[in-house]
Structure 1
């Protein structure tokens, strides 16, 4: 299963910063050591033209040149640097590449990504550019050369925080369906309405979460027929997450992933996934949650390969 990374770009963050930058390299190392079916490949950067499918030229230019307004940088939560700008492009490029491979092989992944708080003209919540939005639009553009109608893309966002940027970008686009299931009282505190939003109370555990997810997938199917699924597999619903406020166990997280992969498999729906958020009290727990998602993904990737024989 092909997995794209940009772990060579590490941001120098102040001591005590809430963002666990080290998790990406730790996850890459864990995949190399424990999941032999994974093929790791360095991500290429997204171009200005590709980014412009979801972002304004002025914002793209400001990130490239380091002229971002201070208040926008505060919302993003990272200081500007050349590495920050390049990492953001590579994170988008990784999801783009994962989507291309998924359309051929059934399942592929980005070690990072899931930057769903970035809107067309600004970033936020540790998100610079919106990788799922750019990838969805680019896959539509590439598929459009051989199709009469746009490729229909569903974004299933199971990060604990609402995908406000993705919802905003696709607000008037009926060719992309945005489904976000998130903590009702968690960040962002002003939600952007998507096509389907399910708010969860603080302390929500496995049983209630999975019932809500089943209901959401049923409604998605009733309202939309996707041809590509982009899955944001956030680790932050786990009970050990500092910012999550939900109570999913290890078994609950695995059941969540299996439901999404099984739903896509039953419909022979190509699936590209990104890891989105994860802020465990112990960084090892975040890496464990993400590694478990890859283990589930590989099982479904094998099914696709058997189907092609």
Structure 2
């Protein structure tokens, strides 16, 4: 089986100040590396068009959406997001959000699919935060439920930071199960309640981390029996990540991804994986960390 994947060139076409901590080149780097190392097949490459704005407004406040799209968003709101406004940021955002929806649709057809960006879990109803503008995870889940492609979606978020936007957007929605496994002492400082929050202490090791993943993920599958899993495979859990405080090795990331994909496959539940967060000025090392998801997918599915 060949792994379908979604990537658009706009993901890395974002001009930022030279010292900006967001590694915008990582998406292009991962795409190039994945092709070069035969981790993906070019024939399985998909690109999403810009998302229909009305789909974003089904999840987010219409005034906030319009202000971001037309550039009238307040500078204070932009500072909270962490990006300067630009046409390229709007383009990138609209392609990326639709990319996660496309990834989910591909997963329903192929059992697995990988998005070479995504995981914008700090985006709330009427504001963005932490490099997240619109919550692609909730938008995709909501749209698939609205169009009756699925009845229940599990968002399994393994980024090192709590998915606070996902938590607030999913509160009161029994059809989207939100689970965040994150570092307790990391961003955001105020953490709203997800359906399931697993808080890990600074310095958490591979063994402890994988034990949590195994027990929690297996429990959620058995309890909720979702029709689709959206898996945020953030690598900012890595011991050398610039914004993470856990002590997870590259081998630990690979073991986590294999574990999640194996359990999903065993229960015959489609998985749409997004690469999530990962922060390092060492571009090659960051590419290696994100590529573990593709290595795991090939191990489990090919």
Which consecutive segments of 4 or more residues in structure 1 shift more than 6 A? none
Partner of 1:234: 234
Unaligned runs of 5+ in 1: 145-149, 303-309
Q: Distance in 1 between matches of 2:22 and 2:165?
A: 19
The TM-score, its normalising length taken from structure 1, stands at 0.93
Please say if 1:62 is aligned against 2:67. Answer: yes
Q: 1:290 deviation in Å?
A: 0.9
Q: 1:59 deviation in Å?
A: 1.3
Answer yes or no: is the 8 Å Cα contact 1:238–1:253 preserved in 2: yes
Q: Distance in 1 between matches of 2:6 and 2:30?
A: 12
Q: Distance in 1 between matches of 2:187 and 2:174?
A: 26
Q: Distance in 2 between matches of 1:56 and 1:35?
A: 42
Does the residue aligned with 1:242 lie in a helix, a strand or coil? coil
Q: 1:280 deviation in Å?
A: 2.4
Partner of 1:179: 179
The one of 113, 118, 142 equivalent to 2:147 is 142
Partner of 1:248: 248
Q: 1:82 deviation in Å?
A: 1.0
Partner of 2:87: 82
Please say if 1:33 is aligned against 2:36. Answer: yes
Please say if 1:72 is aligned against 2:84. Answer: no
Partner of 2:192: 192
Partner of 1:307: none
Does the residue aligned with 1:44 lie in a helix, a strand or coil? coil
Partner of 2:19: 16
Count of residues in correspondence between the two structures:
297
Partner of 2:298: 298
The one of 114, 123, 147 equivalent to 1:118 is 123
Q: 1:79 deviation in Å?
A: 0.5
Partner of 1:5: 7
Tell me the alpha carbon deviations over residues 212-263 of structure 1, each in whole angstroms, 9 at most, x when there is no partner: 1122114313531200000000011111101111111111111110111011
Q: Distance in 1 between matches of 2:48 and 2:112?
A: 16
Deviates more, 1:212-221 or 1:259-268: 212-221
The one of 87, 105, 108 equivalent to 1:103 is 108
Q: Distance in 1 between matches of 2:31 and 2:215?
A: 33
> How large is the Cα RMSD of the aligned pairs?
1.3
Tell me the alpha carbon deviations over residues 163-205 of structure 1, each in whole angstroms, 9 at most, x when there is no partner: 0001110011011101110000000111111011011111111
The TM-score, its normalising length taken from structure 2, stands at 0.95
Partner of 1:306: none
Q: How does 1:192-211 map to 2 (within 5 A)?
A: 192-211=192-211
Q: 1:142 deviation in Å?
A: 2.0
